[in-house]
Amino acid sequence: MWTILCIACIVLVIFLLKYVFGSSGPNPFAKDCREPLREKVYDKKEKNKVLKQGFLASRVPDNLDAVVIGSGVGGLGLAVLLAKVGKRVLVLEQHDRAGGCCHTFTEKGFEFDVGIHYIGDLLEHKPLRCMLDQMTNGQLQWEKLENPFDHVVLGPPENRRSYPIYSGSTRFSEELKKRFPGEEKAIDEYLRLAKKTGRGAWFLALLKLCPLPLAKLLIHTGLVKHLSFFFKMAPRSLTDVVNELTENKDLRAVFTYIFGTYGNMPKDASFAMHSLLVTHYLSGAWYPKGGSSEIAYHMIPIIEKAGGAVLVRAPVNRILFNEAKEACGVSVLKGQEEVHVRAPMVISDAGIFNTYEKLLPKELQAMPEIQRHIGMVKHGEGGLSIFVGLNGTKEELGLRANNYWIFAENNFDELVDKYMNQEREEASKKIPLLFVASPSAKDPSWEARSPGKSTLSLVSFAKYSWFEDWKDDKVTNRGADYKELKQAFIDTALDVVMDVFPKITRDKIEYVDAGTPITNTHYIGAPEGEIYGVDHGIARFSPELNAVIRPQTPLKNLYLTGQDVFLCGFAGALAGALTCGSVILSRNLHLDAIALAKRTKYMDKKLKEE
């Protein structure tokens, strides 16, 4: 008995090592691809030549190695990884420009980002930064936000408390301790737990990369929770953990405010997810120089250089399968006509729900395994975005390179519960949580591009059902009542903004509009207006779900990438691409990225010494 158990253990360890360190395919991070910085292109027309290449059958390259549905960072990122090892990849995007949540749009001369406000972990020579340098051939540049990068604002106008959040492991706690004397122990323990939990997240990738039976063995033997503090903490709610640490209501709020970056109120949030966000921003926060369209703009040429293409206005209406139920291409709707694109591999960045419920033939969708996967996830919360164009420079308007998280009270669980569970008219009169940032103030290239102007981005949550009535109307013509409802949300949000930022006044506002959950459906293909894809509540962090929801689907030659197969956020969606690339290329790209980061650090150091 014991011998068998011993042998089984040894085999298990060997397998694990093989899947952690295994590497049989080509390595996209084999060499340092950074090129000298070229002159920045900010001219819209020039950029659109890259970002807005419309779909035509004649533009589809021959002999494709893969077709990717969706041009978010999960889709483009994966295409770049494959292109770097010489694969010819076609990326298809339903919207009229590439980028997904990283796309930008311009109204009345103001350029707005959709889904990038700040990204963490981008210190030079860290794996994420190094990877992005490679994936844009060294052309994408990052600008650090100021420190403090976030401000948590709590309470009603007559009793507002503002708490700055600093990056830096020591600074983070030191500054909090100044504001919360007597709470030193709670603050230290909070950070210790967050760091320890966050460090265990490598197991998430492991569960998705090792063979499923092995993953199941790790789960059923309970080894997962022994080996990874991440999964040990995953079933615990944020409220639960934080309430044990302190009685101070404001400190509890400060410990939890960043739930806004994944969308579950503290009592539904997993401490594991929370720990990832806290540690993500511990080394600082960054914004892409030139705005978030720079991301796609510098990735696309790499895909093209390998013979691939990124085509927009290319809604995929179904995935094609052969008789053996293997994916073999996609169908694109061109007007009323279907254009078929053949490829030996189909990778979807369109999210689990779109992929399984909209793009599969009925009989495949009905497969028990597909149904089981769909049953494990649920739609995440809808998002509300308000875009404001202002007349004035950042100095005139008092705008800086930071973010504000403004809450009407410090009891977030009740606050969100109440807000999300009321009728839309009520909700539009009081928005109790609001993210406010000025993208223009974060971008050093802005002043030259749009002198004398500024932008604000406001973000909150909103129920899909509040806006569902208008979902089938044309996006440009949704009627007066829809406009009225949007205006009510806008006015309420602006009142909050003008109260917190006294230099912003009505007469400075040149442009304002709101994007609702149904706007998200139209422009980023979010089926129920989700802000962060599938829900990130505690259930998302069960080891079972993380082992089962992986890049391979139950259907041969069909893969998933992006936020739904890993986690939300720019870095989460990119990790989805890295994991999917690992499966396709049969090697652990997470480790390759880490190895390259070490190598470039060494090389850069030597270069400096010379």
Ligand X SMILES: *[C@@H]1O[C@H](CO)[C@@H](O)[C@H](O)[C@H]1NC(C)=O
Ligand Y SMILES: Cc1cc2nc3c(=O)[nH]c(=O)nc-3n(C[C@H](O)[C@H](O)[C@H](O)COP(=O)(O)OP(=O)(O)OC[C@H]3O[C@@H](n4cnc5c(N)ncnc54)[C@H](O)[C@@H]3O)c2cc1C
Residues at the contact surface with ligand Y, assessed by CB under 6 A: 69-75, 92-95, 100-102, 115-119, 314-316, 349-350, 354, 383, 385, 459, 524-525, 531-532, 562-563, 568-573
Residue whose token pair is 């993500």: 280
β-strands 285-288, 119-120: how paired? antiparallel
Do residues 110 and 454 touch, judged by C-beta distance below 8 A? no
| DSSP codes, 187-235 | HHHHHHHHHHHHHTTHHHHHHHHS-HHHHHHHHHTTHHHHH-HHHHHTT
Contact (Cβ atoms closer than 8 angstroms) between residue 83 and residue 306: yes
Shortest spacing between CB 540 and ligand Y, in angstroms: 14
C-beta closer to ligand Y: residue 74 or 236? 74
Beta strands 66-69 and 346-348: pairing type?
parallel
When CB distances to ligand X are compared, the closest residue is 391
Of 326 and 510, CB closest to ligand X: 510
Residue 391 interacts with ligand X (CB under 6 A): yes or no = yes
- Residue 391 or 487 having the CB closest to ligand X: 391
Position among 146, 417, 499, 510 found at the interface with ligand X (CB under 6 A): 510
CB of 269 closer than 8 Å to CB of 538: yes
The rounded distance, in Å, linking the Cα atoms of 433 and 407 is 5
CA triple 604-608-127, angle to 5 deg? 20
Minimum CB distance to ligand Y, residue 577 (Å): 8
Site membership for ligand X, residue 248 (CB under 6 A): no
Contact between 250 and ligand X (CB under 6 A)?
no
Q: Say which entry of ligand X, ligand Y, none residue 437 contacts (CB below 5 to 8 A, set by partner kind).
A: none
Q: What, of ligand Y, ligand X, none, does residue 173 touch, CB below 5 to 8 Å by kind?
A: none
- CB-based contact 348:71 (threshold 8 Å): no
Cβ distance to ligand Y smaller for residue 186 or 370 = 370
With binding defined as CB under 6 A, does residue 393 bind ligand X? no
Residue 572 CB, nearest distance to ligand Y (Å)?
A: 6
Q: Minimal distance in Å, beta carbon 595 to ligand Y?
A: 24
CB 42 within 8 A of CB 290: yes
C-alpha angle 345-525-265 in degrees, rounded to nearest 5? 115
CB of 508 to ligand X, least distance (A): 8
Residues forming a β-bridge with 347? 68, 559
CB of 397 to ligand X, least distance (A): 11
Q: Does 422 bind ligand X (CB under 6 A)?
A: no
Torsions phi, psi for 411 (to 5 deg): -95, 80
Pick what 532 binds: ligand Y, ligand X, none; C-beta below 5 to 8 Å, kind-dependent: ligand Y
Q: String of b and e for 135-151 (b: at least 16 CB within 10 Å)?
A: bbbbbbbbebbebbbbb
Phi, psi of 61 (to 5 degrees): -65, 155
Q: Which is nearer to ligand X, 25 or 392 (CB)?
A: 392
Question: Which among ligand Y, ligand X, none contacts residue 391 (Cβ within 5 to 8 A by kind)?
Answer: ligand X
Residue 510: name its binding partner from ligand X, ligand Y, none (Cβ under 5 to 8 Å by kind).
ligand X
As measured in angstroms, the least distance from the Cβ of 553 to ligand Y is 16
450 binds, among ligand Y, ligand X, none (CB under 5 to 8 A by kind): none
**Positions in the binding site for ligand X (CB under 6 A):** 391, 510
